[in-house]
Amino acid sequence: MKRSTLVRGTAVTGAFAIAITLTSCAGSAADSAPSSSDLTIGSVDLSADCPATIVVQTDWNPEAEHGHLYEMIKDDYTIDAGTKAVTGPLKVDGEYTGVNLEIRAGGPAIGFQTVSAQMYQDDSITLGYVSTDEAIQLSSTTPTKAVFAPLDISPTMVMWDPTTYPNVKTIQDVKPALEANKGVWRYFDGSAYIEYLKSSGLASADILDGSYDGTPSNFVAAGGKDMQQGFASAEPYVYENEVSAWGKPVDFALIHDSGWQTYQSSMSVKAADFDTLSPCLTKLVPVLQKAGVAYYKDPKAANDLILKLVEDYDTGWTYTQGVADYSVKTQVDLGLVGDGPDSTYGNFDDARFADFFDKASKVYTDLGTPPASGYTPEDLYTNEFIDTSISF
């Protein structure tokens, strides 16, 4: 199959070649998840409180931003390339926890629908990646509650050619620069942050183009005149090193720095399942925290699995060792992952969440999809399961 360069989060047209073979980490055919009957449960036992298989629905193809999940099954797993899922005994600090973990790909694997919608269609899903803006917008129809934030800052950014725009350094510089040069900011249609930027005076209709399809063709064809949405933890490397028609650096600014401070890919449960799952989450969330810290300390084995999954799933998504290495380093260097303003990894900042709730609620109300009546920030997240002693 001819593989195109696809960017995270886009709906892609065309047929996908779907591999239907099942391979294990040893490369042999497999019909079921790894047997864990001969494994000894270590100091953390999830078997009495959690589902026998904890199912996590991610929001995109396997990538380094999901590394904390793959860290927990990196040494023992079974891949189902047909369903785009990988399963293995869930381990922390190398010890078995008594349950399995199944990680499911999102994006093309679920028809590009929201993770929230997928969670409500499939009761087997325990947790899903739901960004705060999605949680607010869909609180009336598919309500979720976040329990763990693997990313402290969203990687979403706008990027530009530094040769064309040498004086652009921040989000505030973008609008006047594009207006002067008659360029456009190409983005995914429906991105809520764009409405916030418009209401804040940081963007306007004359510089915005919602036709971005996730491929580099229009950016390259514009020769540096246009700017484009992307992930700071991927595209800067990809465009310089893997898009041969461009092959040079880009500069960027994080949307987070504009004041739109969503928690990207927060691990969430369906609101109605929260009480039932609480005993499990009490033990599981600290395991998720430890896995994240371990992954960024030594990502090699988990990244090997990520790269293997990308190859086996064969959705048209390309992901190389270079991108994975760049992503891990950039996430840490930019503070996309880490302890945030305190000394705890994976928690939510109350003041920040409240501020974002107010901003996003206004945007979605103006768009005709207000949050559920009477909803407050506390309905959308909790820090009660977080172990405050776990940090980077």
**Threshold 0.85, pTM exceeds:** yes
> So what's the pLDDT on residue 129?
98
Q: Residue type for 369, please?
A: T
Of the chain, the end-to-end C-alpha distance in Å amounts to 41
- Tell whether the model's pLDDT for residue 29 goes beyond 90: no
Q: Is 329 helix (H, G, I), strand (E, B) or coil?
A: helix
pLDDT of residue 340: 87
What's the CA gap between 373 and 392, in Å, rounded?
38
Using DSSP's 3-state secondary structure scheme, residue 247 falls into coil
**What are the Cα distances from residue 2, in Å, to 88, 109, 167, 310, 314?**
31, 18, 38, 15, 10
In angstroms, the CA 250 to CA 160 distance is 6
Q: Which residue has the tokens 């092959």?
A: 247
Is the pLDDT higher at 14 or at 331? Answer: 331
- Cβ proximity of 144 and 135 under 8 Å: yes
The pLDDT score that the predictor gives to residue 24 is 37
DSSP state letters, 231-245: ETTTHHHHHHHT-TT
* In the predicted structure, residue 2 carries a pLDDT above the cut 90: no
> What was the pLDDT predicted at 37?
62
* 27-31, 238-242, 266-270: segment of lowest average pLDDT: 27-31
Kindly state the tokens that stand for 49: 């409180």
Give mean pLDDT, residues 221-226.
97
Q: How far apart are CA 359 and CA 357, in angstroms?
A: 6
Structure tokens at 57: 């629905």
In this predicted structure, the answer to whether residue 190 has a pLDDT above a threshold of 90 is no
Q: What is the structure's pLDDT at 1?
A: 28
Average pLDDT, the chain: 91
Answer yes or no: is pLDDT of 18 > 70: no
The SS3 assignment for 224 reads: coil
Q: Once rounded to an integer, what is the mean pLDDT over residues 302-324?
A: 96
pLDDT for residue 38: 81
State mean pLDDT over 181-202. 94
Assess contact for 54 and 100: CB atoms under 8 A: yes
Q: Which residue has the higher pLDDT, 4 or 224?
A: 224
